[in-house]
Copies of this chain bind each other. A is one copy, B any other.
């Protein structure tokens, strides 16, 4: 089998996958991806869903995810124009993994709470 001409390695600080990992696991990136799955959402809906995110941070987060091709901005030509944020197929793949991580976290939270309570 031919060697992958572009192997990725998040442990390597110079690998582009490191930067994308940082976008999808940033303070707000993971929550925004999860909030966009499975339904597209409007800016205001995302802002209400992701408690604590500011307009500026949501806007920056969406831009980073868009530039990675994980989120698509769809403008519907209604009056007034209506913008939906939608996961691309690549974004869905990543959002599914983020949601699985969140579910894994919920599974261990009772243990985390126990450790913290006894610390």
Contacts and interface: CB of A to CB of B under 8 A. Distances in A.
One complex includes copies of this chain to the number of 2
Contacts of A57: none
A104 B108 contact: no
Interface residues of A, number: 53
A21 B105 contact: yes
A36 interface: no
Prevailing SS type, chain A contact patch: helix
Contact of A34 (B10, B27, B106): B10
Interface of A: 6, 8, 10-14, 16-17, 20-22, 24-27, 30-31, 34-35, 49-52, 67-70, 89-90, 93-94, 96-98, 100-116, 119
